[in-house]
Chains A and B, each alone.
Chain A
Amino acid sequence: MPDTSSHSATTASIATATKVDCRNINVFYGDKQAIFDISMAIPGRSVTSFIGPSGCGKSTFLRCINRMNDTIENARVEGQVIIEGENVNTDAVDPVLLRSRVGMVFQKPNPFPKSIYDNVAYGPRIHGLARTREDMDAVVQNSLTRAGLWEEVKDRLGEPGTGLSGGQQQRLCIARAIAVSPEIILMDEPCSALDPIATAKIEELIDELRERFCIVIVTHSMQQAARVSQRTAFFHLGKLVEFGDTEQVFTNPTDDRTQDYITGRFG
């Protein structure tokens, strides 16, 4: 188990203070253990990427941060997820409130079968973040602008979100996530269903968003991890193998398995 806190101390120039501190996370699906005792300190205002072969537990670990595993029957998460000094992986913390602070974008774009406007306004509406119609309009415009979609959709906000192209849908989902102004955005392979041009746009967007949000991204593409993230974690068989500055992980990995994976020997 690498000493993650020392890493974050030495890379203060890139990452700010720790935003999410995961301690001794174990995840079980029924009798099967999917995550083995992972601890990791994720810094704020930067992009952290999770890489690793399929089924290595990176998505599962990601879903611990906003407790999406709660929605899966017979899934059990042990350990502490500390956000801003408060452990959120307890019954005392309401997952509903937690998820308003931790947004998530999924692998496949999943806009609701509603209008573009309503998709973005959904979060602020259920959390009561905008009191007037004008406030809501502003939130929607702001979020769409941030997601780089405003110019493309401003004339058809009333049309269904499912009518957009794949890349646009994904950016709509990002806009939807940032509309509740979360502190952390989790992205579960956000580009895997998109073509290269749409992917490039999303990556650009991630780079911009990192100034305001703590972003955690699961990706299959090592190039993408290298391009967008400042920190990289390599997972293998439910364990955290290596976690460090992206540059260091890709150029000078400390573990042989990381070396093997990034050079394409397995995975």
Chain B
Amino acid sequence: MRKLSILFAALFIGAFAGVAEEIVWMSTQFVPIAEAEFIRNEVLAPFTEATGIKVKFVGAEYAEFTSRVQAEYEAGKGQIAVLCGLHGDLSPLAEALADVSGVKTGGTIPEGLTKLAVIGGRQVYVPFVQATYLMVVNKKALAYLPYGVNPWALTYEGLLKWAENIYKATGEKKLGIPAGPKSLLHRFIHGYLYPSFTGYQVLAFDSGAAVKMWNFMKELWEYVNPAAPTWDSMDTPLLSEEVWIAWDHTARVKQAIIERPDDFIAIPSPAGPFGRGFITVLGGLAIPKVSPNPDAAAKLIEYLTSPEVQVKILQGVGFFPVVAEAAGALPKGALQILARGVSAQAASPDAIVSFIPGGISDEYKKIYKDTFFKFVVKGEPVDVKFLRAQATRLRELYLEANAPYPAPDGG
């Protein structure tokens, strides 16, 4: 009898210890089964081996994620130790999230990205992964770089001169912007052009700076391959060398670099008078205020932001690293080339990070694209009245949805 009770006690303690070492990680990302399995087997298993902390990875849809975190916060007691979500998933929950500015990271995260996680004076998440759009350049184009133009710190003026140089030398329009019906042209306009030229993506839609921007774009368009309005992604025209310099989403240029890694480099998008506007789809790691294991959560965050793990995540699920050291840790090849560009863009000193509008009607895409089509593709003179009407409609869309303007405007 006595022996039995000792056995029970031992079992109880053992089980208790086991529970104490398991933490819950809830995430809106990596939800598809293949991705979740990758996270569990390739990312978390080595972490458990090294630290003895078991991590239970739970994928969740946005609605479930939000209500769960909110409910635990209101109850003052929680089970979830650590969270992963896009900026748009985490920022509405800021009140329920602990300040993580003191959490150690496994690599250097650019200040431009960390700044975005500061809501109400507190840093509520640690930047974790990103996806973005950048420029891919065929090395042949480098021979035509105008004097004083640095591709790693490109400006729109420099890009114009560069494309003009190539045109004068080869007679061909080698600049590529995806402007087809299913392209991501709207991202280029609201996340790159507008912030670079006006500082905002919504607020200055019909400003004088915007008029200047459209006139510049008409000039640049002279050197864009005239088939651009048929292109939905730039990998094909890059491979066929119909263009040498192209802008697009990393996923839409990747194939070109995979097929011919020696021919291309990826560089940051250009900067305008207000700075280097670019979009970051930013994922972050957060610790709820009511997290039962904040120390273990901090250890997990340090592990997940180490260059090796960041590289692993890029290779496994295609999300790019946020830490500067990761690009160097990648094996030579397409992903390294892209990661260099992504890192350089994220770390640029004149960065203006834009977020993708959330919660509003997709009609906003049409507003940006139609304006481009009218002024740039059709070549009609920049008409302030039309700009004003489009701006009004755009603001209406935000009002109708009661949605905040995304960064850099607000949010």
| B partners with A | no
Query: Hey, which bits of chain B sit against chain A, CB under 8 A?
Result: none
Chain A positions within 8 Å of B, measured between CB atoms, are none
